[in-house]
């Protein structure tokens, strides 16, 4: 696949489209959106009361997301529609195409892998870890399927998400849920009678 180069691997992976899978991937790609990562972080922090995990998810998303946004203008890699212009082939889905030179790395893939990696490191068994990995891989594939990114963009995004998430878990290893609770100090006041 890599022997085919950037364009060849994209065309190979982007070759088969069906209306039902178009709708599926248009919706599914949003699991790599930053809003989804923030909502999951808040859910763990406030609803499940797993404050450390919620905070790590938020830090991992922020850290990896900022890195991805710093890298994009440095690399200036064209998105598929810009790369193939003026040739326009049938697998571009109208109304969701991004143009420009900010393809590398895939931000959705970075977010999905950062989220999946942190949750996998806290998962109770290997099946949960594999499921989380598969869900992140599908976000990466959705970016190619929707003609938003090349395989190299997705692979770099997955690597950045994994490494960044592991670093964030390591940095926060000594943090406890108790340290994240706000506890009112009870002042005992003496009363004069």
**Per 3-state DSSP, what percentage of the chain is helix, strand, and coil (rounded to 5)?**
65, 0, 35
Q: What is the DSSP letter of 2?
A: G
- Is a pLDDT exceeding 60 seen at residue 1? no
pLDDT tens digit string along 14-56?
888 888 999 999 999 999 999 999 999 999 999 999 999 999 9
- Indicate whether 166 belongs to any domain: yes
Distance separating alpha carbons of residues 2 and 53, to the nearest angstrom: 37
- Indicate whether 9 belongs to any domain: no
Q: Which domain holds residue 114?
A: 27-175
- Indicate whether 2 belongs to any domain: no
Q: Model pTM?
A: 0.89
- Indicate whether 52 belongs to any domain: yes
pLDDT value for 27: 94
- Indicate whether 154 belongs to any domain: yes
Residue 93 CA: distances (Å) to CA of 56, 124, 139, 165, 167: 35, 39, 17, 32, 36
Average pLDDT score, the chain:
89
pLDDT tens digit string along 149-190?
999 999 999 999 999 999 999 999 998 877 777 655 544 455
Q: How many domains does the chain have?
A: 1
pLDDT band at 113 (very low <50, low <70, confident <90, very high): very high
Task: Tell me which of 110 and 97 has the higher pLDDT.
Answer: 110
- Indicate whether 186 belongs to any domain: no
Q: What is the DSSP letter of 105?
A: S
Distance separating alpha carbons of residues 9 and 38, to the nearest angstrom: 32
Q: How buried is residue 125: exposed, middle or buried, by Cβ count under 10 Å (0-12/13-18/19+)? A: exposed
Residue 87 CA: distances (Å) to CA of 4, 67, 80, 82, 92: 19, 32, 11, 9, 11
Distance separating alpha carbons of residues 81 and 148, to the nearest angstrom: 8
State the CB neighbour count (10 A cutoff) for residue 58.
19
CATH number of the domain where residue 118 is located: 1.20.144.10
- Indicate whether 122 belongs to any domain: yes
pLDDT value for 177: 74
Name the residue among 65, 68, 56, 5 with its Cα closest to residue 34: 65
- Indicate whether 7 belongs to any domain: no
Residue 82 CA: distances (Å) to CA of 17, 155, 167, 172: 20, 20, 34, 40
pLDDT exceeding 70 applies to what percent of the chain? 89
pLDDT value for 106: 97
pLDDT band at 193 (very low <50, low <70, confident <90, very high): very low
């Amino acid at each position: 696949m890599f022997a085919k180069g950037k364009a060849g691997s994209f065309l190979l992976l982007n070759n088969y489209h069906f209306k039902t899978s178009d709708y599926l991937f248009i919706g599914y790609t949003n699991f790599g959106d930053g809003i989804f990562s923030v909502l999951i972080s808040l859910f763990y922090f406030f609803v499940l009361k797993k404050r450390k995990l919620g905070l790590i998810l938020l830090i991992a998303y922020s850290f990896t997301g900022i890195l991805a946004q710093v890298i994009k203008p440095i690399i200036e890699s064209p998105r598929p529609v810009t790369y193939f212009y003026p040739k326009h082939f049938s697998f571009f889905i109208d109304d969701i195409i991004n143009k420009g030179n900010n393809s590398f790395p895939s931000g959705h893939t970075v977010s999905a892998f950062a989220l999946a990696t942190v949750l996998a490191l806290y998962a109770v068994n290997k099946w949960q870890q594999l499921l989380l990995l598969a869900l992140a891989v599908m976000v990466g594939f959705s970016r190619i399927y929707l003609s938003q990114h090349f395989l190299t963009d997705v692979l770099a995004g997955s690597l950045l998400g994994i490494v960044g998430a592991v670093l964030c878990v390591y940095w926060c290893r000594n943090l406890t849920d108790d340290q994240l609770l706000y506890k009112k100090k009870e002042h005992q006041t003496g009363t004069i009678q």
